[in-house]
Chain A
Amino acid sequence: MTASHVNLKYGSILGLFAVVLMAVVVLSLMVGAFSISPISIIAILLSPLTSLFGLDLSSYYTTIEETVFWNIRLPRVVLGILTGVSLAVAGAAMQGLFRNPLADPGLIGVSSGAAFSAVAVIVTSGSFLGIFTLPIAAFLGGVVTTLLVYKISTRNGKTSIPTMLLAGIAIGAIAGAGTGVFTYLADDDQLRTLTFWTMGSLASATWESILSILPLVLLAMVLLPLHARALNAFLIGENISGHLGFDPDKTKKQVIILAALLVGAAVASAGIIGFVGLVVPHLVRLLAGPDHRIVLPGSMLLGAAFMLAADLLARTVVSPSELPIGIIMAIIGGPFFLWLLMHRMGRHTF
């Protein structure tokens, strides 16, 4: 296979993921307690543009449709894309770093750490950094947890995977207990937010919450793929990546910080949503192999699509009421994780 063949293969896989994402985006914009037709969506999207040329498209949609679209449907879809991208690519990067496909931000306690620190901020009504308070608090919680888990499970450059998963459980439990303490301190209003939020949901999507995480997510989306080749080398060994001319310490630090940034952003805006970082990168690897040059961008596209699809289920199965998306993810992800474990017993690799 020549270089161009590889580019073609990777290109067509990414193209496929992009088409899937587009389809889910359109479906998500249309379907809901109040459905909007595709023609109305196109007209609503184009109307700001066409009005500049004196063309009025408002006969193609109603005012209610317009309001629902701009204030409820679109922010929810955009937030779904951002959180899906964040959690999936953070999972993929952590799996590379830990050299293990089971290193999901949710499983190793990073999400719980981020959540604890965010809950602390909500209950103490801290707002020292304006709209960025929650994302930054969640990010710090995520970084501290990742570093703790990494330090505990790594001796002399070797990361013990059982220790990592067990340390993740313990730290997750401690953070969960901390979150529990804060819910006792919370007033009724805060409590309602917290409960819904610890189960994960995109329902509270606003343009403001999107804006508060957008810079962090975009930054990490650009910087993380730059480490793709270093992460590939990491998979055959931390020392070996150094022998090949990469700087393992730099890779480790930057990837941990970027992944925690992404998990923090997702947790701050949508609460704890597990398994995205586990299921999505695995599907990408199944289709395209473990090369991070395809796994990282592929996980971004497929992660967004996966999140939107789960959210679509969350708000349609018990319509007009809705389920927290975290529950949907656990229903899909839990059995998937078990299947992965049993599959691993037979084959030893992923």
Chain B
Amino acid sequence: MVINAPHGEAHLLSIVKVKNLTFGFNSTPLINDVSFEVPVGSLFSIIGPNGAGKSTLLSLLCGDNTGSGSVEIGGRCLTGWSSQSLAKKRAVLPQNVSLNFSFNVSDVVLMGRSPYVRGLAESDLDRDLAKQALCAVEMGDYWNRDYTSLSGGEKQRVQFARVLVQLCESALSESLEGKLLFLDEAVANLDPAHQHQVFKLLKILQQQGLTIINVLHDIQLTAQYSDHVLVMKNAKMLMCDEMRTVLTPDKLEQVYDMPFRKIHDSATSWPFLVAAS
């Protein structure tokens, strides 16, 4: 199946299709008539100024809110999915998860297995997967630690392990084609080393077929890791295209109302852009 993307470029199969999406409280729309498609297997980033509607758009895509217009995931309208089968298809990693109760790290990761658990208790497979996922985020020794005693960065890596075991049916190395991961500024509180660690993991998952939709602020991370970029401004979609088309000094000036400069660095293969006030 070949679908024409908004900008005339042909994409093989879109996993998310959004048409005329509008959402808001009272009369002020938070999302105003947004339409776009996300190609299968893309690392798709949503950027834009504060308050532009990025996180609201993501909440509409993952079903926390419902607006007018349509959101299709995997060829089916979002409201047509049962919550359990949707939970096996897409996972959501929020910015930070605070807990008032002292769960162990293992408890938190195992919650990711919820859509697969029949009855009351997790299986040995669930536990094996959870252990492997913790090792994948370099938290293998933290199985019995109290989640609430961890640092912000450690908590976020545990949450990453949780969404990882939610997306995998029976093995971490299995194909993730047709599955989706949403990240809402999920690396905003991490130090640079851990930010890149998360994105390297995302790249591995992408090679397994996963589609990743990512709200973020960091232009450098967007440039280094994204395939496609959607720009939100004042509740509207300003543009949606391949990363190199969107991330130019001219277009970024339009987005943030301040000049940007492109720095030429032979060591990087991606555009290196800095705000130049």
A291 to B137, CA, bound (A): 24
Please judge, given known A-B contacts A1-B106, A290-B101, whether A236 and B111 are in contact too, CB under 8 Å: yes
Q: Within 8 Å CB of A193, what residues of B?
A: none
Q: Within 8 Å CB of A73, what residues of B?
A: none
CB contacts between A and B, total, < 8 Å? 93
CB-contacts of A218-268 with B (<8 A):
228-229, 232-233, 235-237, 239-240, 242-247
Task: Name B99's contact: one of A1, A6, A7, A349 (CB within 8 Å).
Answer: A349
Check B117 against A232 for contact (C-beta < 8 Å).
no
Residues 57-89 of chain B, each 1 if its beta carbon lies under 8 Å from chain A, else 0: 001001110000000000000000001101110
Q: Is A3 an interface residue (CB 8 A)?
A: yes
Q: Is B266 an interface residue (CB 8 A)?
A: no
Q: Within 8 Å CB of A3, what residues of B?
A: 121-124, 127
Residues 102-126 of chain B, each 1 if its beta carbon lies under 8 Å from chain A, else 0: 1110111001101101001111100
Q: Is A70 an interface residue (CB 8 A)?
A: no
Q: Within 8 Å CB of B87, what residues of A?
A: 243-245
Least Cβ distance of A193 to chain B in Å?
40
Check B111 against A243 for contact (C-beta < 8 Å).
no
Q: Within 8 Å CB of A7, what residues of B?
A: 121
Check B104 against A243 for contact (C-beta < 8 Å).
no
Q: Is A2 an interface residue (CB 8 A)?
A: yes
Check B102 against A289 for contact (C-beta < 8 Å).
yes
Check A349 against B127 for contact (C-beta < 8 Å).
no
Q: Is B94 an interface residue (CB 8 A)?
A: yes
Check B100 against A235 for contact (C-beta < 8 Å).
yes
Check B92 against A229 for contact (C-beta < 8 Å).
no
Please judge, given known A-B contacts A290-B102, A293-B120, A350-B100, whether A239 and B64 are in contact too, CB under 8 Å: yes
Q: Is B97 an interface residue (CB 8 A)?
A: yes
Q: Within 8 Å CB of B124, what residues of A?
A: 2-3
Check B121 against A246 for contact (C-beta < 8 Å).
no
Least Cβ distance of A260 to chain B in Å?
22
A291 to B92, CA, bound (A): 22
A228 to B111, CA, bound (A): 12
Least Cβ distance of B143 to chain A in Å?
8
The size class of the interface chain B forms with chain A is: 35 or more
Q: How many residues of A contact B (CB 8 A)?
A: 32
Q: Within 8 Å CB of A290, what residues of B?
A: 101-103, 107
CB-contacts of A64-90 with B (<8 A):
none
Check B92 against A285 for contact (C-beta < 8 Å).
no
Check B88 against A235 for contact (C-beta < 8 Å).
no
Check B148 against A101 for contact (C-beta < 8 Å).
no
Check A228 against B100 for contact (C-beta < 8 Å).
no
Please judge, given known A-B contacts A243-B87, A244-B87, A245-B87, whether A229 and B117 are in contact too, CB under 8 Å: yes
A247 to B82, CA, bound (A): 10
Q: Is A99 an interface residue (CB 8 A)?
A: yes
Least Cβ distance of A195 to chain B in Å?
38
Q: Is B214 an interface residue (CB 8 A)?
A: no
Q: Which among A157, A237, A240, A246 has the greatest number of chain B C-beta atoms within 10 A?
A: A240
Q: Within 8 Å CB of A236, what residues of B?
A: 97, 99, 103, 108, 111
Check B99 against A244 for contact (C-beta < 8 Å).
no
Q: Is B91 an interface residue (CB 8 A)?
A: yes
A236 to B104, CA, bound (A): 12
Q: A2-B127, A236-B99 are in contact. List 4 more A-B contacts (CB 8 A).
A: A232-B103, A240-B94, A245-B84, A293-B121
Q: Which residues of A contact B (CB under 8 A)?
A: 1-3, 6-7, 99-101, 157, 228-229, 232-233, 235-237, 239-240, 242-247, 285, 289-291, 293, 348-350
Between-chain CB contacts (< 8 Å), 8 pairs: A6-B121, A101-B101, A236-B108, A243-B63, A247-B83, A291-B103, A348-B148, A350-B101
